[in-house]
Structure 1
Amino acid sequence: MQTVDDKLQRCRTLIEAKVNWGDSSQWQNQDFETLSERILAETGVSLSVSTLKRIWGKVRYQSEPTVTTLNTLARFIGYENWRVFQNQTTGEPTEPAPVLSPEQPGPTPAISPASKYWPWAIALLLLAGLVGIWAFQNRVEPLQYGELAFTSRPVARGLPNTVLFDYDATDSNADSVFIQQSWDPRRRYRVAKDGHQYTSTYYYPGYFRAKLVLNDSIVKEHDVYITTDGWLGTINDDSIPTYFPDRQIRKKDQIALTETDLIAQGVDFQKTIPEVSLQYVQPLGELSASHFVFETELQSTFNRSNAVCQHARIMLLCSNGMHSIPLSVKGCVGQLYLSLADQSVSGKTTDLSGFGVDFSDWVKVRCEVNQKKARIFVNGNLAYTGDFQEDPGKIVGLRYFFHGTGSVKSARFSDGKNETVLR
């Protein structure tokens, strides 16, 4: 019988195959930070680096993973939840038949009178199976539908926020009805065909393209945009984050989360160094993620304990994906990952040394993208040039990640005609 540990090992294997980062025993802290960010981007749930390290056995921990953690890992690899993953991967191993060498052949069994009829019985079973398959395939009717309805609305302002989906798929011959919450097909959930409402609670801001799916066909879609009220700071927790509103994180001429802020919320820096975010998710017009200029000044402000690498990340949220720019101290650039829409680059196999910085002063980053070709400058020096293929849509927000604490001094976008300064 397969245990929870067996299932968790299977889950880890599938995740490792998906990210394709090589032997997980060699993963560093930045690998788990990047995995945490990808899980957040694809599932809308943040799993902390410490939690992921416990899952991979990097940190000792006696308790079982929470239901939220297991459900999120299952969703990341394409399952609705952990229970579905368990049920669909259950299978008891069978005892392998012994192999006899040519030098030691087994005894020749006696042939019973009934054995001469076995070939006919097998042939009849195969024929029956083929007839059954043919009958099943021919009974499946093409998808047909008439008037359908699919809308949604947030029930509150700010975060957290529950989105109420209203749908009507009764005028169809579909066997299965799903609501897919974003561009990512892993966020697809089955709903009752004769039902009319489905809700989902969002704890982080972002842009989601919801879809109504009948069988395997997308028949209706619309945008769900969960915005912030100005700037928002968060301590990224496995389930529900800790929120810092705009007025609390404004510090003179910058947006910042400080040690004082975190300690006031019960963070003990002697025990753990949390991952925090500063984010601004508001409409920025029709700013194309394939043609823009972005400039920012930021600073990672914590460098003790296991945060000595001072990993930071700038994520440009797009309507159909994201761009992600990493930074760290110079000695840790081998752990970095850069993402431009559908293209990802690892510091293990590519020179990303230009993203190694001294955070004792403000770090200036400039990203120029023209016709899906990108150039990224760090403190005035060209750090990377490359391109991407898929259209990430329009830019819909901005998120900074810091290990510990961090600050943002400026952030602005332009497209050659208009400039937007995030204040």
Structure 2
Amino acid sequence: MTDNQQFLEKCRKLIEEKLGWGSSNQWQNQDFENLGDRIFEVTGVVLSASTLKRIWGKVQYNSKPNLSTLDALARFAGFANWRTFTASVISPQPEPAAPAPSSKKRRSFKIILLMLALAGAALLIGSIFVRQPRSPLTFDQLRFSSKPVTLGVPNTVIFEYDATHSNADSVFIQQSWDPKRKFSVDKNLHTYTSTYYMPGFYKAKLILNDSVVREHELIIESGGWMGAILREPVPVYVTDRLHTVPGQTGISQQDLNDLHIEQDKTAPIVTLANVSREPDISSRNFLLSLDLQNTYHGTPSPCLHTNIVVLGTDGYLLLPLGKPGCAGEFNMMLGELPVEGRTHDLSAFGVDFSKPVQLKCEVRERHIQITVNNKEAYAGRFEKDIGKIVGVQVNFFGTGFIRNFQLKATG
């Protein structure tokens, strides 16, 4: 095994421990899709389920992951980048020398202990298999609803539930697709509150034992444009600084300095979001247009990655921008269709951020066209729409602003 493979295996183990989803040997396609969403939420980088399956060895693939993928994995695992991660991993120790003849008795004793332990484990496993199976899950008169208490974020959501007529041993409420945001609730109670720190479209779930029995849509509105610097477990809100320059929405590097945001090891991810249940816009026919500029000058963000995300009730669109030399690291997501810079020519999304960039995205009758500075960057079929559009999010690796924002139905 090469050093790089050992580093990748260590990074996978750290991610699995962080997720707490059990052995990756049992992961299904949905788990890898959820992991991709988690990585995007933390790092702003899109890694498709197919890419993650290759990294976890679920799909045969001979090429090595590119550096942008490795950086995203390392950042999700809690490191500044891949280089910082590999530097922190202790090199494997050499194999121990063969034991001297005087240690043979000790070695034989260890083998005996190991055999006894294996025999005990076999008996335990056998007893598990002969146990009576759990009774089938039964439930009726279930109730599950939710209500945000305010407009904007942070926002407490009050969940009302009733699972008293079920035979479930345990009851959980899950905030969204993320299994880590699942909370155990008292089966005999009926109210539970949970805090949401970012606006968006969520699907809350009521889980009995290990089965999702009820699910409903939940929109956390932003109350207009809001801003935040993403970090765990709670973002830093910067909404009060968004409109200091007339005609544009965003924050500057001076704002980061004033807020004492660390910038030495990695560039902060600044998110501008506008989420609302009001616009009645179908993703089958719409136009998005805006001017934007990444204004960051720090060394931790050489590519100035900037992602524009259109949020829908059945998925999202992600449109990437960045410096021209980084086009191979761009990743676009069009609903269920990933378009990776490693296997597609996304060079038209490479831009000069010394001045504002104009981006347009138009969908008409299953056809999508994206233009950058009035030049076509991508066009093709858009077979699977993302449902009703509920908002837009712009993620700057560093700082930036938007202006002349427009989102409207065209059908």
Asked if residue 10 in structure 1 is aligned to residue 13 in structure 2, the reply is: yes
SS in 2 for 1:294: strand
AA aligned to 2:67 is Q
- 1:220 aligns to 2:251 (yes or no): no
Equivalent residue for 1:396? 390
CA deviation profile, 1:13-38 (whole Å, cap 9, x unmatched): 756995625569744347645x69xx
Partner-residue secondary structure (3-state), 1:201: strand
Partner of 2:197: 203
Specify the alignment match of 2:171 in structure 1.
Answer: 177
**What's 2:67 paired with?**
28
Per-residue Cα deviation, 1:285-307 (whole angstroms, up to 9, x for no partner): 22122332211111111244132
From the superposition, tell whether residues 130 and 363 of structure 1 become closer, same or farther in structure 2 (CA, over 3 Å).
closer
What is the SS of the residue equivalent to 1:263? helix
Deviation at 1:411, TM superposition (A): 1.6
DSSP-derived class of the 1:20 partner: helix
Look up the match of 1:321: 315
Q: CA deviation at 1:361?
A: 1.8
Contact 1:233 1:249 (8 Å CA) reproduced: no
Tell me: CA distance 1:252–1:347, structure 2 relative to 1, closer, same or farther (3 Å).
same
Q: Which amino acid aligns with 1:51?
A: G
Is this contact kept in 1: 2:160–2:191, CA < 8 A?
yes
| Most deviating of 291-300 and 174-183 | 174-183
State the match for 2:135 in structure 1.
140
What TM-score results when the alignment is normalised by the length of structure 1? 0.68
Contact 1:158/1:229, CA 8 A, preserved across alignment: yes
Matching of residue 359 in structure 1 with residue 357 in structure 2? no
Alpha-carbon distance in structure 1 between the residues aligned to 2:320 and 2:143: 42
Partners of 2:167 and 2:341 lie apart in 1 by 50
User: How many angstroms apart in 1 are the aligned matches of 2:371 and 2:311?
Assistant: 19
State how far apart, in whole Å, the 2-side matches of 1:400 and 1:248 are.
13
Structure 1 CA distance for aligned equivalents of residues 337 and 294 of structure 2: 26
Asked if the contact 2:15/2:76 (under 8 Å) is kept, the reply is no
Could you tell me how far 1:375 is from its partner in structure 2?
Answer: 1.8
Whole-angstrom distance in 2 between the partners of 1:329 and 1:362: 13
Aligned partners of 1:7, 1:357: CA distance in 2, in Å?
Answer: 36
Quote the offset at 1:184 in angstroms: 5.7
Segment drifting more, 214-223 vs 291-300: 214-223
2:282 aligns to what SS in structure 1?
A: coil
Flag structure 1 segments of 5+ consecutive residues without an equivalent. 37-47, 63-124, 418-423
1:293 aligns with 2:287: yes
One of 339, 350, 354 as aligned partner of 2:344: 350
Q: CA deviation at 1:341?
A: 1.3
Distance 1:182 1:369 in 2: 28
Count of aligned pairs between the two proteins: 333
- CA 1:312–1:155: 2 relative to 1, 3 Å: same
The corresponding residue for 1:280 is: 274
Residue 17 to residue 336, structure 1, CA distance change in 2 (3 Å): closer
The unaligned stretches of length 5 or more in structure 2 are: 1-7, 17-23, 25-34, 36-46, 57-63, 90-122
Q: How does 1:117-132 map to 2 (within 5 A)?
A: 132=130
Who is 1:67 aligned against? none
Query: Which of residues 30, 35, 58 is equivalent to 2:85?
Result: 58
Compared with structure 1, are the counterparts of its residues 350 and 250 closer, same or farther at alpha carbon in structure 2 (3 Å cutoff)? same
CA apart distance, 1:59 = 6.6
Return the letter of the residue paired with 1:10.
Answer: K
Matched, 1:231 2:262: no
Q: What per-residue deviation string (whole Å, max 9, x for no partner) do you get for residues 197-243 of structure 1?
A: 33322111111121323355544333322121321111111221111
Aligned residues with identical type, % of pairs: 37
Q: Is 1:334 aligned to 2:328, yes or no?
A: yes
The amino acid of 1:160's aligned partner reads P
Structure possessing the higher radius of gyration over alpha carbons: 1
Residue of 235, 238, 251 corresponding to 1:244: 238
**Maintained 8 Å contact 1:232/1:279:** yes
Alpha-carbon offset, residue 189 of structure 1? 4.3
Aligned to 1:158: 152
* 1:337 Cα offset (Å): 0.5
How far is 1:58 from its partner? 3.3
> Does residue 1:380 correspond to 2:374, yes or no?
yes
Q: Structure 2 CA distance, aligned partners of 1:187 and 1:288? A: 29
Does structure 2 conserve the Cα–Cα contact (< 8 Å) formed by 1:53 and 1:59? Answer: no
Distance 1:226 1:348, change over 3 A: same
CA RMSD of aligned residues (A): 3.5
For the residue of structure 2 that corresponds to 1:221, the secondary structure is strand
- Does the 8 Å CA contact 1:284/1:395 hold for their aligned counterparts? no
2:348 alignment partner, SS class: helix
TM-score (norm 2): 0.70
* Aligned mates of 1:340, 1:170 — CA distance in 2: 42
- Cα distance change of structure 1 residues 350 and 149 upon mapping to structure 2, 3 Å threshold: same
Separation (CA, whole Å) in 2 of partners of 1:132 and 1:17 = 41
Alpha-carbon spacing, 1:173–1:393, altered in 2? closer, same or farther (3 Å): same
Work out whether residues 265 and 300 of structure 2, in 8 Å CA contact, stay in contact via their aligned partners in 1: no
- SS at 2:281's partner residue? coil
**Residue deviations 1:304-358 (CA, integer Å, cap 9, x gap):** 4132211101011112321110001111000010001111111011111111111
Q: Is the 8 A contact 1:342 1:388 kept in 2?
A: no
Once the two structures are TM-superposed, the CA of residue 148 in structure 1 deviates from its matched residue by: 2.0
Contact 1:300/1:312, CA 8 A, preserved across alignment:
yes
Distance 1:284 1:52, change over 3 A: farther
Which amino acid counterpart does residue 237 of structure 2 have in structure 1? Answer: Y
Amino acid at match of 1:223: E
For the residues of structure 1 that align with 2:207 and 2:355, how far apart are their CA atoms?
Answer: 50
